Amino acid sequence: LSNNALTSAPNLDIISDTLSTLYLTGNDISDIDNLGSLNNIATLHIHTDNYPILTDTQMIKSINLCIGKYPIVNDILQQWHWFEILTTLCLDKISLTSFPSFFGVHDTLTSLSLKYNYITHIDEENLNNLTKLHTLNLQGNHIVSTPSFYGVAGTLKYLYLGQNRITGWNIT
């Protein structure tokens, strides 16, 4: 359903038992409640300038969510309790200026991409609370120095910090 003129998601109840990945990119969707039962949806891709209302997403493990309006992102970050089993999250090119708190998914998130934002500082406490983090992509931000990464040292396998402004390396 990518690259259409959808403003809300269609009801997919008839195929929801077999559908595992859903692409809604390239639309202007602000409401996905019409999707119906998302029993087997493991991966949901949404790119929009609107605020997607996500209320029945307990089964979704991976969300590729790219939103163009920064104030909307703060609303979404307050709703991580909806994503209790979320493992992968992409918040690329959404004009973030700071490293967010991912409190609600701190023990499930394994892959996080915050590419091409305006992040200048990685909040060490918020980062080190991500106890299962395997992949972190902070490419193309404005980061000047790195935190110690002590909390994710045992799980982090892929770290992307290219195209930043790093002048100090603080990994201990």
Cβ partners under 8 Å of residue 125, min gap 6: none
pLDDT per residue over 108-159, tens digit each?
888 999 999 999 999 889 899 899 999 999 999 999 988 888 888 899 999 9
pLDDT value of position 67: 53
d(CA 47, CA 40): 21
The widest CA-to-CA distance across the chain, in whole angstroms, is 54
Tell whether the model's pLDDT for residue 36 goes beyond 70: no
- Return phi, psi of residue 81, to 5°: -60, -20
Long-range contacts at 24-32 (CB < 8 A, ≥ 24 apart): 25/64, 25/66, 26/2, 27/1, 27/2, 27/3, 31/7, 32/8
**Alpha-carbon 130 to chain mean position:** 13
Tell whether the model's pLDDT for residue 58 goes beyond 90: no
Q: Are 25 and 51 in contact (CB under 8 A)?
A: no
- Return phi, psi of residue 103, to 5°: -50, -45
Closest-CA residue to 103 (of 132, 78, 73): 78
Tell whether the model's pLDDT for residue 100 goes beyond 80: yes
